[in-house]
Structure 1
Amino acid sequence: MFAALGPVSEGPWVEHCTDIFAHCLTDDPTMAAYVIDDGTGRLLSCAVGEYEPRLPGPRSSAAHVGHVRSVVTDPAHRRKGCARACVAALLHWLAGQDCSQVQLRASAEGQRVYAGLGFEVMTDVFMSWRPAACPVGEAVKESRSD
């Protein structure tokens, strides 16, 4: 399924990801995965999510915010409701964990599925910082010189 995203290199990340994922699903009550298989154990679709604590605010006093971390569907089984069913089950679980909202990053292909489940496009700008791209010490020096 990763191949549908483009070339994927094999490497140590696969074993590392597998180990962490297995640990989280067995030992971390804040993560869940909902799957559909073909009856022989072959994965057709999967939705993985987790929740984390949040501070109360004026719009909600709920204890958690949820995140849909990954949704994948075998290309041969797309447009059959598999992803929708997995995400709907995940959302039901997250709602039961006192999540005030659930967030995700959607691909253009998945956006229609999520909108159909009630997700809305937010106007906030998503930003990311990567330590290797900007060492903390350099960022602190630059902000002090401004």
Structure 2
Amino acid sequence: MPIEYRRLTENELDTFIEVRISQLREEGAMEEIDLRSALKDYYLRHLADGTFVSYLAFDGEKIVGTSGMSFVEKPPYFACPSGKIGLLSSMFTNPAYRRKGIARELLSRVVKEAKDYGCGTVQITASDMGVKLYTDFGFVHNQNFMHYKL
């Protein structure tokens, strides 16, 4: 059976959240709190207002890959005159399905959504595993990225 790609709806949200938590664990995040309710609140609000989109890869009814794109707006700047930015997240492929083009297809779909939304750039904090995919797709490193934890 071929892989089928569908846009995330509320029907798949609980499973999507479990995949997201598994992804965070795989990337080595310290699980200090239960994120389920915060994730559900975020996704429900932003799916409803159109500022989050996700595509899922299905093998039958089993979700084998996920993607996500949040849309944010900053004051326009020279590299992004619209000020609209796509923040890529939730890129995950079940280990048994990796190296089959699933992540690339999911990435293509959410990047198209960002372009259609009017984003001038897409950003991601890539896991070590994802760097090759994003580099091959055309992403470039920004050595100036920093964050400050509040």
Determine if the alignment matches structure 1 residue 120 to structure 2 residue 136: no
* Structure 1 residue aligned with 2:5: none
- TM-score, normalised on structure 2? 0.74
Looking at structure 1, the residues matched to 114 and 80 of structure 2 have their Cα atoms a distance apart, in angstroms, of 15
2:147 corresponds to which letter in structure 1?
A: S
- C-alpha deviation, 1:37, in angstroms: 1.0
The Cα of 1:4 is off from its aligned counterpart by: 3.2
Distance 2:128 2:110 in 1: 20
Q: Post-superposition shift, 1:73?
A: 0.9
When residues 13 and 97 of structure 1 are mapped into structure 2, their CA distance, relative to the original with a 3 A threshold, is same
Identity, % of aligned pairs? 25
Is the contact between residue 80 and residue 121 of structure 2 (CA under 8 Å) also seen in structure 1?
no
Q: Does 1:34 align with 2:55?
A: yes
Equivalent pairs, count: 128
Partner of 1:15, secondary structure, is helix
Q: 2:106 aligns with which of 65, 77, 86?
A: 86
The two structures have a TM-score, normalised by structure 1, of 0.76
Deviation at 1:54, TM superposition (A): 2.6
Amino acid at match of 2:146: M
Aligned partners of 1:59 and 1:5: how far apart in 2?
30
Q: Is the 8 A contact 1:4 1:75 kept in 2?
A: no
Secondary structure at the residue paired with 2:132? helix
Aligned to 1:138: none
Partner residue in 1 for 2:117: 97
Listed as ranges, the matches of 1:11-30 within 5 Å are: 12-25=34-47, 27-30=48-51
Aligned residue type for 1:127 = M
Partner Cα distance (1:7, 1:111) in 2: 18
Q: How does 1:62-73 map to 2 (within 5 A)?
A: 62-73=82-93
Contact 1:48–1:69 (CA under 8 A) maintained in structure 2: yes
The partner residue of 1:109 within 129, 136, 142 is: 129
Q: 1:105 & 1:111 partners in 2: Cα distance?
A: 9
CA 1:16–1:58: 2 relative to 1, 3 Å: closer
- Structural RMSD (CA): 2.2
Structure 2, unpaired ranges of 5+? 1-18
Aligned to 1:130: 149
Cα distance change, pair 43–112 in 1 and its aligned pair in 2 (3 A): same
